Structures are given as structure tokens and as C-alpha cells.
Amino acid sequence: MIKKRPKDFVPTFFNNTASSYDRIVHLTTFGQDNVWKHKIVEQLLTEKTVLDLACGTGILTEQIVNKIPNVKIIGVDITKKYLEKAKEKLIVYENISFVNQDAEKLNLDEKFDCITASYLSKYCISEVLIKNCIDHLKVGGKIILHDFTYPTNLFVRKLWNFYFKLLYFAGFFVPNWKQVFIDLPRMIRDTNWVKEYEETMKKYGLKIFKKELTWNTSTIIVGTKIS
Ligand SMILES: C[S@@+](CC[C@H](N)C(=O)[O-])C[C@H]1O[C@@H](n2cnc3c(N)ncnc32)[C@H](O)[C@@H]1O
């Protein structure tokens, strides 16, 4: 049997979950998703243009525009239903636009001061995504990647594994999320995204800053294009 690539899970995870995503991500991370997104936004200063890859329903996109009200943001996502939700929620912001594209085939006729991506890295091939990001980034600009990680501390790991067992049972009450709660923990255990993206960023000469968050259950990597 051919092993599925992480990207193959994207339609299963996201085709039927857009309407409940904001609530589910807040509840299932015990509000940590908001804390993590604040850590991403903290990295932004006075950027004029931001590309938010895998913007989903626009949670991070909205936090960015709230921090830098005059910023021009483009949100990109592969799943149309998530983009529709984002458009509906953020309709009042004239400086936000949305594009339906695969981040691994990114093709925008513009370079940005910053590229953000929350929960995208594990689905993509680091070499492909970073190369695309660099092609769309101004010199001095930053790529900020954030995603889940499998904690290294053994005690935290036990708690983490137990928590996903509970989520498995919770999945019976939220059928659209059942398969996500089954496949996501496996994917997080298997991914080596932090190391892979660090190596790729180094290879392309980016200056790297990395921060582990909430007992290493998620990580942020910032790569700055210095030349
Ligand atoms: C868990 S959601 C995260 C949404 C948002 N970044 C957030 O943090 O709330 C993951 C999103 O990644 C999108 N996605 C996955 N692979 C993608 C790709 N190759 N290109 C663009 N979007 C992708 C999915 O459609 C989904 O909307």
C-alpha cells in the first residue's frame, strides 16, 4: 500500500470543517492557539505588506491587521470553503484580499515584507515551500512558520498522548472532526518539520530564530532574508 503524504490529508481535514474551525481550534488547544498567534504577531513591527499562507478562516490575518492597521495583506489558502469563511468574517477590512492557491505552487506577481504560515509547514515539502517563499520575499523580509510539535519531555508526551485519546472519543460527538482527531496526532508524531525547515532555511542563507511554545507542543521558526 502506498503511504499517504501529509498533503493528501488536507481535503479530508478541511473540506467540511470551515464553519466550526474557529471554535474547535480554540477549545481543543485550551486557548493556546491565541497565545501562539500572539507570538507570531509579536514578530511583526511596521511591515507594509504581509502574505498569510494557509490563512484558513483568517484568525491570524485579523490579528495582523489589528496590530498594523495600514498593512496590505493577502491571505492564501488551498481550501475554498475556508477562504469563503475568511472573506465573510473579514469583509470590513479593505486592505485584506484572498487568493485560492496551493502554497507549494505559489505564483503572485509581488514581493512581501513578511510571509506568515500557521499550521501549514507539516503538510508541505520544506524545500518547495521555502523556495516559493523566498521568491515572494523582499530583502530584509521574514518568513514566520508556526506549527504543532510532538513534545520531547516524557511526562508531557504522556499527557499529550492521553489528551489525543480523549479527543478520539470526542470525535464521536463532532463527526466532521472525527478523522482529524484520529490522523492529526499521528501526523504530528511523524513530522520532522522543525529540523527540515531549519536546514532548508540555512541552505538558502536565511538568519534563523526559533522558539518552542507551551512545553514544546508547538514551535515558531523565523527566517530573515538578509541578502
Ligand atoms: C489548521 S488550518 C490553519 C488556518 C490558519 N492558518 C490558522 O492558523 O487558523 C490549515 C489550513 O492550511 C490550508 N492548507 C493546507 N495545505 C495548503 C497548501 N498547500 N496551500 C495553501 N493552503 C494549505 C488548509 O486549507 C487549511 O485552511
Q: What is the pLDDT of residue 4?
A: 87
pLDDT at residue 3 in the model:
80
* Torsion angle (degrees, nearest 10) of CA 210, 215, 217, 222: -10
Ligand 1 pocket check for 56: Cβ under 6 Å = yes
* Contact status, residue 111 vs residue 140, Cβ threshold 8 Å: no
Q: How far is CA 152 from the centre of its chain?
A: 21
Specify the CATH class of 6-225 in words: alpha beta
Tens digit of pLDDT at every position of the chain (227 positions): 678 899 999 999 999 999 999 999 999 999 999 999 999 999 999 999 999 999 999 999 999 999 999 999 999 999 999 999 999 999 999 999 999 999 999 999 999 999 999 999 999 999 999 999 999 999 999 999 999 999 999 999 999 999 999 999 999 999 999 999 999 999 999 999 999 999 999 999 999 999 999 999 999 999 999 98
Domain spans of the chain, in order of start: 6-225
Ligand 1 centre to CA of 77 (Å) is 6
62 CB contacts (<8 Å, ≥6 apart)?
A: 89, 90, 93
Spatial strand order of the sheet with 49-53 comes to 96-100, 72-77, 49-53, 112-118, 137-148, 218-225, 206-213
Radius of gyration, CA atoms only, the chain: 17
Grid cell of 7 as nine digits: 498533503
User: For atom 25 of ligand 1, which residue has the closest CA?
Assistant: 79
Ligand 1 mean position, distance from CA 194 (Å):
17
Q: Which of 145, 131, 136, 134 is nearest to 225 (CA)?
A: 134
Task: Return the pLDDT at 213.
Answer: 98
Ligand 1 contact, 104 CB (< 6 A) = yes
Q: State which ligand 1 atom lies nearest to the alpha carbon of 76.
A: 21
206 lines ligand 1 (CB under 6 A): no
The preferred substitution site among 14, 80, 99, 128 for testing ligand 1, maximizing ligand atoms within 8 Å of CB, is 14
Query: Which pLDDT does position 1 carry in this prediction?
Result: 67
Q: In this structure, how many other beta carbons lie within 10 angstroms of the beta carbon of residue 129? A: 25
* Best probe residue, ligand 1, of 61, 120, 128, 183 (max atoms within 8 Å of C-beta): 120
